Each structure stands twice: as C-alpha cells, then as structure tokens.
Amino acid sequence: MAALLEISGLHAYYGKSHVLHGVDMLVNEGEIVSLLGRNGVGRSTTVKAAMGQVDATGSIRFKGNEIIGMKAFRIAHRGLGYVPENRDIFPTLTAEQNLILGEKKGKSSRWSLADMYRMFPRLEERRHTPAGVLSGGEQQMLTLCRTLMGDPDLIMIDEPTEGLAPKIVDLVAGYLKELKNRGISVLLVEQKLAIALEISQRVYVMGHGAIVFEGTPHDLRGNAAVRKEWLEV
C-alpha cells in the first residue's frame, strides 16, 4: 500500500504560539485515517498546514511531492481536498451553484451532480435554495459534496459531525464509507470516537501538538490509559 500523504517533523505557529511540535503521520492510498484528540491540541492546525493555510516547517509530501509552502489552490489542483470545520459555503448562491463551483475543470471526474443527489437526496430537494438558509446538516452535506466535485484523491475532513442530529451523523458516516469504496483516501478529524473507530483503518491520537498514539481501532479500544489521558473528558 503506497503512502499518499506523508507528514514528518511538522511544526506550526500562530504568531509566537508554537502549536505543532514535530508531527509525524501518513495516509495510504484507499485508507480512512482518523486524527483524534481533545479540542485545542492541534488537529485542525495539522490539516490546515497540509492545505497550505498555516505557516509551517518540516515536510508534507503528497503523492511523493513536497507541498509545504505551496499555495492552497495549487495543492487542491494536485488532488488534495479539504472540508473545513466552519463549512465556508457561499451563502447567497444556491446549493447547486455551490456544487458547480467545486467542479473539476477540464478533466473527467469520478463524481457528478447525480452522485451527490443520490447520496444526499435532501440536497436535490434544496438545490435551488440559497445555501445560507440551509440547515446546519444540509450545509455540511453541501460542503462535503462541493469538495468531492473537485475529484480529490485524498480528502481531509475537519469535524464533519459537529452539531449535527444523530440521523445526519449516520448519513455522514455512510458517505465516508462510500468514499473509501470509490478509492478515495480520507483523513478525518473527529470528536466522536465511536464513528472514528467504526470506519477507520488506523487512528492517530494527538496531545499538546504532537502524536501520542498510533494504531488500529482495535489497539485504541484496548488501550484504556491512552483513552483516559488524551480523549476522555
């Protein structure tokens, strides 16, 4: 199994605040990997650094090429997708217009509008509705689908189930499994341990800006000390 995203010795700062302290992790082709940890430990900063949105030092290689220091749009063109926690929809455009904006230009894509509407029928019902008046769950679906329309090889998703109703959480979990079935790798930042352990092949746990555990979901389930120190409230 080939490595798709390789992060090594990653340090990142916000002003004088040193947030990431030598993060090492990787995501292989066709793999779902979860990055777990409490709020404020640096999980979101890690994926933002990979997407070129945070100044960082170290190495971030995607499909074998160094991308650290590259502009975000160039990283996206290489096939790395990112779904931010704050969703970043275009509120005055319709749901369908938001999806079309995410479309991959010039080359065939694994994904179409029909795929999006099949996975999330509610989006088709609301396709002519301004995105700003959609519910939180609908906006999350829209952001996920808009990123997919760019046909990424790996998609990084930051807290996709935050604030969603249980029924929508189940929808999102099903969506993530479908990505894997289509050969798309996923790096998932998630608070809900049950979902992460159910759908991931491997998990990383972060604490104080560094990786403190790496293993399979089975390994983490069996390690009460790690769960207590770094995950449980």
140-155: pLDDT as tens digits: 889 999 999 999 999 9
Per-residue pLDDT of the chain (233 residues; tens, 9 = 90+): 789 999 999 999 988 899 999 999 999 999 999 999 999 999 999 999 999 999 899 999 999 999 999 999 999 999 999 998 887 899 999 999 999 998 887 667 788 899 999 988 999 999 999 999 999 888 988 999 999 999 999 999 999 888 778 888 888 888 888 888 888 899 999 888 888 999 999 999 999 999 999 999 999 999 999 999 999 87
In this prediction, residue 227 carries a pLDDT of 95
Task: Report the pLDDT value the prediction gives residue 105, as an integer from 0 to 100.
Answer: 74
Q: In whole angstroms, how large is the CA radius of gyration of the chain?
A: 17
Which residues does 131 contact at the CB level (< 8 Å), separation at least 6? 89, 90, 91, 92, 93, 94, 95, 98, 139, 142
Whole-structure pTM value: 0.92
User: What is the pLDDT, as a whole number, of residue 88?
Assistant: 85
Residue 76: C-alpha distances to residues 59, 62, 104, 151, 210 (Å)? 17, 11, 10, 10, 25
For residue 32, what pLDDT is reported? 94
Q: What is the pLDDT of residue 21?
A: 97
Please give the pLDDT value at position 107. 66
- The Cβ of residue 119 has, within 10 Å, a number of other Cβ atoms equal to 19
Which residue ranges form the domains of the chain, and what is each CATH number? 3-84+149-230 (3.40.50.300)
Please report the sign of the dihedral spanned by the C-alpha atoms of residue 97, residue 136, residue 30, residue 211.
Answer: positive
